[in-house]
Amino acid sequence: MKNVAFIGTGRMGKPIINNLMKIGFNVDIYARSIIKVYDIISNGARYHSSINDCVRLCDVAITMLGFPKDVEEVYFSTGGLLESVREGTYIIDMTTTSPTLAKMIHEEAVKRGLHFLDAPVTGGVKGAKDAALSIMVGGDADDYNICLPLFRAIGTNINHIGGPGMGQHAKLANQIMIAGTIAGICEAMTYARAERLDMYKFLRSVSTGGASSRQLETAGTKILERDFTPGFSIKHFVKDLLLAVDEATKENLNLDVLLTVLSHYKQLQDEGYSENGTQTLIKYYGG
């Protein structure tokens, strides 16, 4: 399994592609504009102007797209991925998307003699650059084991969660956890500032105790320095939280923290902050 086709050359996709090439995978890419992918072409990626040309000879096709509608278009459109790959090809969707959609793709893939895994990731752009992503995989266990060397090229915490769609469910649960954590950080910092604490000393004090977290590590100083550049953008976080709400509703779950934090992020998105990082939530609190 040496020939990889990759669709989704965004902020996460590019470093993943570079890491695959570093350890010897041949990577073909599809992008709507060649101008935006000159950097990875110069590193060895082979560019194609159509999905069909990109994927038709690959051993494994990987997608990492923005929204569920993008996934549906790439997989099910005329000339799209499912009708263009060879029988027996392994297909991995690393987009965070609907578990229902993942199951639908898996069902169609099986009909066509293909192998499909849903494998969303967490770790942000830094994790992608460092080949240190956490990867949550849903699908057949044998398919997972065959694709494990590829996952190890881009991640360090790789887990087969269960059957089709289970990777997506795990990622949505992850996003629910992050929602509560980042809100807690913003509220704590709002309180600390109001009580006139030295904010850098405060962050240092809590960085190794029970309140420590990866979110605090990545967002705390950025919030103090008003650095709102995205490690993960609000528009994509809102998308993920909406997916989580849809799935929770199906199970008749009352996830009040999820709903509250989602409402705050939607307000920020309406105010024009959709491209900002998730740490921008501090603005909701007047920070």
Catalogue the active-site residues: 171
Amino acid at 27: V
CB 20 within 8 A of CB 13: no
Contacts of 256 (CB under 8 A, 6+ apart): none
Provide the residue count of the chain. 287
3-state secondary structure string across the chain:
CCEEEEECCCCCHHHHHHHHHHCCCEEEEECCCHHHHHHHHHCCCEEECCHHHHHCCCCEEEECCCCHHHHHHHHHCCCCHHHHCCCCCEEEECCCCCHHHHHHHHHHHHHCCCEEEECCEECHHHHHHCCCEEEEEECCHHHHHHHHHHHHCCEEEEEEEECCCHHHHHHHHHHHHHHHHHHHHHHHHHHHHHCCCCHHHHHHHHCCCCCCCHHHHHHHHHHHCCCCCCCCEHHHHHHHHHHHHHHHHHCCCCCHHHHHHHHHHHHHHHCCCCCCEHHHHHHHHCC
How far is the C-alpha of 75 from the C-alpha of 20, rounded, in Å? 22
